[in-house]
Structure 1
């Protein structure tokens, strides 16, 4: 389907319809957004009164669409893209083309109960997002598009995702729910809400989910199934009314995920070594990659068959958090709120970076691995604590004509010991921690990464809305953010010259030269003699100016200018370019929100935006200078080299054309372009720094057109039968760049996709307290490479992570209480 056709059909359709996802379970107001309550400005407001482009998914929408992880959420929000290169537990979000590259800070902030997600700063994207179990027992999910740089704790350029948990009520109620399905799906959820007294109430929830892997590993090494699900998440919420005007709300949560992770599929090989553009390794590894592809084809491998030779592949994430919110209604015009939290995040991972299983011909099955990343000396790839504290004042004055809020924010994230990993390069290891490895090429090594990162983020903010008249309001907000990141690292190279023998040398080039041109040999994989310290600081203001006008109670027009910024970062592995600075964006947005009632209720919301993006944090690939080929590895570094413009249009609408039928449509048009690439002068170890994005080309993860259409029809049945509804969601996404590489013939593109999901729900079956459901995702079994990768010029192969195949399941819920 061509983009122009999509736009034409869509603009006609949006006059009639798009997502009214925020309705309550009764759906008495389906198609009318007037009763959807959001907290996008840190207080409860009607969706149609908030001058922000927002998509809201209710608790019912989450259940119907079987949304249980970040992958599922991104499928239903057109402006939201996802990088799940290392599995859904470690996924990062992108909104409007603002992506998170490598070890950069998140471009989209994820907040649970007003608290930002716990930090993690591993070698691969981890933490900072929606962890396992975070989608259970929610009041709603709110996706806020564009920088929210005044009221939210962590400054970001792309937007914010608010996960609003269900709060304890005064009713004795709850449910137990079980799901079964293909790939041996077994899932249990349970919720109990109990008022223990007139002033004290609790709510407990649990989510246990297991499903076999959808990726079949054909190497015969390690797990035979990858991409599996295995987690448990629990939550306990307690609300105490200490006085009529003083409430204390505490949430305890714990989650643990233990699966085999994912592996990419080899999709292309470089058989023709070009000495002008390719690494010398391509001459050896390119033909071996082609042999792996030929082997896959000869076996008749399917799309979801991979061939990973990592014998120890795993992905384990454990996280716990406590959040305490104390709210004091000091007077009718002043509310004081204090939000404090503490969390710990720990991760263990072991995986093949390229999903390769290269066999040397005539060598009796000798394998030649490229890069495998596993546990390091400390036993955790990432291990971090996060403490946040926010004091917030909200008030009104001048007969409620002026509404204001102000506050102070503190976030301190400290290491729980060293985070470390071993990247074994061209080594075949059964246990890298004990150096049980063979070295087929004779120059393999282990890169030992050990670091402690400490984040200190402070912010002061104030925002106010003043009603100039009954219909016209102006909002102004400002925030001053102070960010500091300190990195203590001990990075080494480990060589295995003979069985049982190890040599440890510092990676840092200054210590490598050691004043005499030779390597600095040290005593172990975390030697203090290799220690280096880096630090970045940035202090920036961000602001918001908004004008909104309500011609009627059912229409809101607004225009705003917002400044967003994202802090810099550190990667000590990037020799000579270890740090990078902050980036900033100016967003200009105009929008309209309209509701219509009567016989055909619904709403139509539209927003148009333009982003001027500067100091953009971009990934670059290094070319090692000839003098350092045997001592310095190639890297992918982050540099402030980009200037881009991003503009587009977003539509959310909904309509109920007749009783029983609801049509929802969401649409996003996104036009992005890298306007300028100005890399820094490379350090002496590298001859050049190649961009991963081309000037004049679109940015990664920014499809031009994306549309989601949902139709739900409820049968006209007697109440004694229950409520039976049929739903279908269709999502079209244009082809887009996942990563832009100059020389790869595969162009690193994600092809256009058309995904269909179905659900059937039967509430209060035959008048009982039982709800039944059937759900199916990717009904047409669409085959899609969601994130291409690999290294055509360095290792001679392209790989790609696949989407999930068709899956289905059945769900039964027993409700009790009110």
Structure 2
């Protein structure tokens, strides 16, 4: 077995790598095993499965951030969108207002069509869902969330080019427990959550969790219903079964519904210069950007039923496991796509994906010098799509002027293996490879009206597309742990995301080659944790979705591979328990991302070279800060918390126009939790986005309705939450 040479990648940033290695040696020289002051308060170790086998975060050679259940609860994280407002290593956007896109280290997917794949994969209990609107699902009753930065394709598959968001739900335990909470706040917020864990015996345990989240819209869209609202209900049942000491089984069923208006956008009509060209300057905003209306009603409806299962059997220091899931999802969305109020158009989207994940893995157990794992995986997504631009005619009846009707099928099969060998007690080497084969097909048609008034005569354009792609991805790593408190590592990874096709033709896969050098260490009797890394990526063939004019005069979606991108940077995460202060957290990330060869359509049918531009959502600096302090009083314990995030300026499109620019911003959240001496109740008061910053989640020129389009993160919110434990 041979692997690609890393000589070029090493040479490219030799000086930066040397700096980190020097830092690692300095840390190693000063590190001591945490033996003294053992009775003092310490940072609790976190067990993660970043390499699919349980291991402490500090012994896992991956740049990552871990957010535990207590942090998620205290900061009000309820979905991926709200997590991104807190997490410095994760960015969230809404392409075309409604389609969520995640970005890590400047890498994201801009192909949000029914055939496209994400570049940052969200994994829940070992299973992923390809459709971006599944990211709207509510997060609750969790063990932790890990954000893994950088390509993770060898263990996690074809689409993990930018990284992984690994969501781990809380599992049934052998302790009877439960809790219920009520959260009331502004915008008529009324959130209810409950959980009960019931151990029948040492063999069988149940856990049931449910949530209802509702708030009025953050916008004023009269006479239409207010957008950016929430109306979510979800319930989850988990059953753990351990009939013998060698056999463990876990079965989970979850049902989620999302209703309401959903995300909407402020659309400002294009401004043209004297030559009839669209101005790329940021247009004048209304005095209150959150107050506007639109021509047609908007709505969303998501119905998601999921089953997940895990079966693991141990024998002779080897574990054989089978992990799978089935997801039946329905997405319906009505968006305003009107060129003007005099020409109302509603774009109605309906998609029905059914997703099956299966993986069989065999891995070694114990702490032997040699450890290994190997597996095969199978992914299948079958979906039907019926979407149309519809205009009201004949007394308000909506008739289609442009429509799509497709059947889509995606299958991905893969085999992988990874092995580690401990050369000495301080040095460990790891190598892994994955071979993936992807197949996609789409059949159906799109049709459009030949006139603007009924009775319509439609032109039908049949679509019958298919493609097959295959690619190996590799992982090489070396670890050096001079003491029990320090671990340094270097890793080389390749990433791959399969190709696809659109109405304008097919496009090739994305690929990435990356090197990362990092250090993880514990100090001061395990009261200070410092993790740092530098990285360098060569990113090729990024898939970009564009709205471009077609030959027949219509505007359509085209997907292209847009050359190469150079990305490098550094990040550091610090957690410290400081006497008389409390828990202090600091995350700092520096990112340099630029297109080096990037030819795309400028929206008018002309190709332009964008070399030198920054990829969407790649701010040069991101800083996160947190402080948690506790006071003990006669009436109980009070815990105060502040979390802040600073982000330098960034663009939301590849063009880097002034109209798609988000200026630097600083947001902060505050909370105070009172835990009375009776210990069965908690009361929390909170304020989020204290400064009421206007932060974009979308900023783009939208050719379909000739407007500048903007969407916003949540404004200032506040409320109180009461939780009862039993």
C-alpha contact (below 8 Å) 2:433/2:472 kept by paired residues:
yes
Kept in 2, the 8 Å contact 1:137–1:165? The answer is: yes
Judged with a 3 Å threshold, the aligned counterparts in structure 2 of structure 1 residues 502 and 192 are, in CA distance, closer, same or farther, namely same
| Conservation of the 8 A alpha-carbon contact between 2:591 and 2:620 | yes
Query: Aligned partners of 1:747, 1:654: CA distance in 2, in Å?
Result: 38
Q: CA deviation at 1:147?
A: 0.6
Shift of 1:273: 4.9
> Which ranges of structure 1 fall in alignment gaps of 5 or more residues?
1-14, 17-27, 360-366, 376-380, 437-444, 509-530
Q: 1:451 aligns with which of 400, 406, 418?
A: 406
Structure 1's 338 and 795: CA in aligned 2 closer, same or farther, altered over 3 A? Answer: closer
* Alignment size in residue pairs: 687
Q: 2:124 aligns with which of 112, 116, 126?
A: 112
Pairs within 5 Å for 1:157-306: 157-218=161-222, 220=223, 222-223=224-225, 225-267=226-268, 269-275=270-276, 277=277, 297=286, 301-306=287-292
Instruction: State the match for 1:705 in structure 2.
Output: 621
**Residue matched to 2:435:** 480
- Within a 5 Å distance, the mapping from 1:555-634 to structure 2 comes to 555-572=486-503, 577-598=504-525, 601-624=527-550, 628=551, 631-634=552-555
Alignment of 1:343-422 (within 5 A): 343-353=327-337, 358-359=340-341, 367-369=342-344, 372-375=346-349, 381-396=350-365, 400-415=368-383, 418-422=384-388
Alpha-carbon distance change, 756 to 201 in structure 1, aligned in 2, over 3 angstroms: same
> Paired residue for 2:649, among 735, 755, 768?
735
Q: How far does the alpha carbon of each residue in 1:606-663 deviate from its partner, in whole angstroms, 9 at most, with x for none?
A: 0100000112212345344xxx4xx341234111122010011111111112045111
**How well do the aligned residues superpose, as a CA RMSD in angstroms?**
2.7
Q: Distance in 2 between matches of 1:676 and 1:216?
A: 43
Q: State the distance in 1 between where 2:415 and 2:706 align.
A: 50
Q: 2:358, 2:373 → 1: CA distance?
A: 16
Other-structure match for 1:143? 147
Give the secondary-structure state (helix, strand or coil) at the position aligned to 1:60.
helix
- Quote the Cα distance in structure 2 between the aligned partners of 1:555 and 1:66: 33
Decide whether aligned partners of structure 1 residues 471 and 669 sit closer, same or farther in structure 2, where only a CA change above 3 A counts: same
CA distance in 1, matches of 2:642, 2:622: 17
In 2, distance between residues paired with 1:469 and 1:488? 56
Find the counterpart in structure 1 of residue 320 from structure 2: 336
1:568 CA displacement: 1.1
Give the one of 537, 541, 551 matched to 2:472: 541
The offset of 1:132, in angstroms, is 2.0
Partner of 1:779: 690
Partner in structure 2 of residue 526 of structure 1: none
Name the TM-score, length of structure 1 as normaliser: 0.80
For residue 493 of structure 1, what is the aligned residue in structure 2? 448
Native 8 Å contact 1:647 1:671 kept in 2: yes
Give 1:353 deviation, angstroms.
4.2
User: 1:512 aligns to what?
Assistant: none
Of 594, 599, 605, the residue aligned with 1:688 is 605
Secondary structure of the corresponding residue to residue 220 of structure 2: strand
Does residue 111 of structure 2 align to residue 96 of structure 1? Answer: no
SS at match of 1:563: strand
Q: Does 1:645 align with 2:566?
A: yes
**Any idea what SS the aligned residue of 1:491 has?**
strand
Once the two structures are superposed, residues 116-161 of structure 1 have per-residue CA deviations (whole angstroms, 9 ceiling, x without a partner) of: 12x33xxxx533xx3422x100000000000101111443210001
**CA apart distance, 1:31:** 5.9
Structure 2 counterparts to residues 421-432 of structure 1, below 5 A:
421-424=387-390, 427-428=391-392
Separation in 2, partners of 1:414, 1:209:
30
CA 497–41 in structure 1, closer or farther in 2 if over 3 Å, else same: closer
Give the distance between the partners of 2:606 and 2:108, measured in 1 at CA: 20
User: Residues 614 and 651 of structure 2 are in contact (CA less than 8 Å); yes or no, is this contact kept in structure 1?
Assistant: yes
Comparing 655-664 and 188-197, the one that deviates more: 655-664
Quick check: 1:622–1:689 contact (8 Å CA) kept in 2?
no
Conserved 8 A contact 1:41-1:151: yes
Cα 1:772/1:612, change in 2 over 3 Å? same
Give the 3-state SS of the residue equivalent to 1:73 in structure 2: helix
Deviations 1:521-564 (A, max 9, x none): xxxxxxxxxx3210121110001000010011000110010000
Instruction: Report if aligned partners of 2:615, 2:651 keep a CA contact under 8 Å in 1.
Output: yes
The 2-side partners of 1:503 and 1:661 are apart by: 70
Q: CA deviation at 1:723?
A: 2.2
Q: Structure 1: how far apart are the matches of 2:668 and 2:539?
A: 34
Query: What secondary structure is seen at the aligned counterpart in 2 of 1:63?
Result: helix
2:178–2:195 contact (8 Å) kept in structure 1: yes
Q: Contact conserved, 2:227 with 2:261, CA < 8 A, in 1?
A: yes
> What corresponds to 2:294 in structure 1?
308
Query: 1:430–1:458: structure 2 CA closer, same or farther, 3 Å change rule?
Result: farther
CA distance in 1, matches of 2:633, 2:56: 32
User: Is 2:144 aligned against 1:132?
Assistant: no
Q: 1:674 to 1:191 in 2, by over 3 A?
A: same
Q: Tell me, which stretches of 5 or more residues in structure 2 are unaligned?
A: 1-25, 28-38
The Cα shift of 1:795 comes to 5.8
For 2:562, what is the secondary structure of its paired residue?
Answer: strand
Per mean C-alpha deviation after superposition, the further-off stretch among 725-734 and 651-660 is 651-660
1:650-702 CA distances to partner (integer Å, 9 max, x unpaired)? 1111111204511101111111000002469x9xxx983545x8211111111
- Asked if 2 retains the 8 angstrom alpha-carbon contact of 1:488 and 1:534, the reply is yes
Q: Which residue of 2 aligns with 1:59?
A: 69
Could you report, residue by residue, the CA deviation over 1:705-729 in whole angstroms, capped at 9, with x for unpaired residues? 00010011101335xx332111111
TM-score by length of 2: 0.90
User: Which residue, out of 40, 63, 70, partners 2:50?
Assistant: 40
**Aligned pairs for 1:722-761 within 5 A:** 722-741=636-655, 746-761=658-673
Q: Distance in 1 between matches of 2:41 and 2:710?
A: 40
- 1:92 shift after superposition: 2.3
Identify the residue that residue 769 of structure 1 maps to in structure 2: 680
| Separation of aligned partners in 2, 1:477 and 1:648 | 25
Q: Distance in 2 between matches of 1:202 and 1:323?
A: 15
1:156-186 deviation line (CA, Å, top 9, x unaligned): 2100011111110011111011100000000
